[in-house]
A = this chain, B = another copy of it.
Amino acid sequence: MAPEACVARLSLYARELARLAHQRVGYVSSRRLAQQLGLTDTQVRRDLSTFGQFGTSGRGYEVQRLHDRLTAILGVSGRTWNVALAGAGNLGSALLAYRGFKERGFLFRLVVDADANKVGRVVQGHAVASAHDLTQIVRRHDIHIGVIAVPVEAAQAVCNQFVAGGVRAIVNFAPIHLDVPPTVWLRVVDLASELETLAFYLARTTKFETATP
């Protein structure tokens, strides 16, 4: 399996290449790609080379072709993924509205909430279902990816139902560690923690230029 850090960047490459293709750029060098993304040219070449040889010496990478290859490798070309959202609050609603998902074939096929007041309502064009019997609903909709945007207290329970329903990948926005079997891929987005990390650095220094001696 490919290095994890490099997989994480694959998505960035694909997106930047989509932009370049949109601007009708035909070829791009690792240098330029790196500059756009705040990386080094070596890193770009190393990353790409773990998936194949895509470049031409002296020319660089053919934008459209590389884009197509990368999206295929990422598993987001010529197919869609069924996504379920648990929690139709502010965050959940923001996620439903986010256009970047649909563009890449991530389709919200199911939205649930535990709050009886929300059930039946339509949020961002999606009808909110009851979270009762979540396992079964998830299974019935053949959900691939579960997104957890519920309060901490409910997160683990929702997670368990997702897993029981056959979900094999989960994105968690609740600020708590979720226990999942090792057969399930988990990704965490921790908003509070992001800010606290920044506070650490702010509290310390007025960040100095690294004086190169």
Residues of A within 8 A of B (CB): 1, 7-8, 10-12, 14-15, 36-38, 73-76, 81, 83, 89-91, 93-95, 97-98, 100-101, 103-104, 106, 124, 144-145, 168-169, 171, 175, 177, 179, 182-185, 187, 189-204, 206-210
Complex-state Cα separation, A103 to B210, whole angstroms: 34
Residues of B near A187 (CB, < 8 A) are: 194, 197-198
Tell me the smallest distance from the CB of A195 to a CB of chain B, in Å.
5
Given contacts A7-B201, A8-B193, A145-B198, 13 further A-B contacts (CB under 8 A): A10-B196, A11-B197, A12-B193, A15-B193, A38-B177, A74-B200, A81-B195, A89-B94, A90-B94, A100-B191, A182-B210, A185-B198, A185-B207
Complex-state Cα separation, A85 to B150, whole angstroms: 23
Tell whether A81 pairs with B177 under 8 Å between CB atoms, given A98-B91, A104-B196, A183-B207. no
Complex-state Cα separation, A90 to B100, whole angstroms: 14
Tell me the smallest distance from the CB of A94 to a CB of chain B, in Å.
4
Tell whether A195 pairs with B95 under 8 Å between CB atoms, given A37-B177, A182-B210. no
9 interchain residue pairs of minimum CB distance? A75-B203, A100-B192, A90-B94, A11-B196, A11-B193, A94-B94, A169-B198, A91-B94, A90-B97
Complex-state Cα separation, A13 to B116, whole angstroms: 34
Residues of B near A189 (CB, < 8 A) are: 189, 191, 194
Tell me the smallest distance from the CB of A53 to a CB of chain B, in Å.
19
Tell whether A100 pairs with B175 under 8 Å between CB atoms, given A95-B191, A183-B206. yes
Complex: chain B residue closest to A124, CB-CB: B90
Partner of A90, one of B93, B193, B202, B204: B93
Partner of A74, one of B97, B124, B199: B199
| B15 x A202 contact (CB < 8 A) | no
| A202 x B11 contact (CB < 8 A) | no
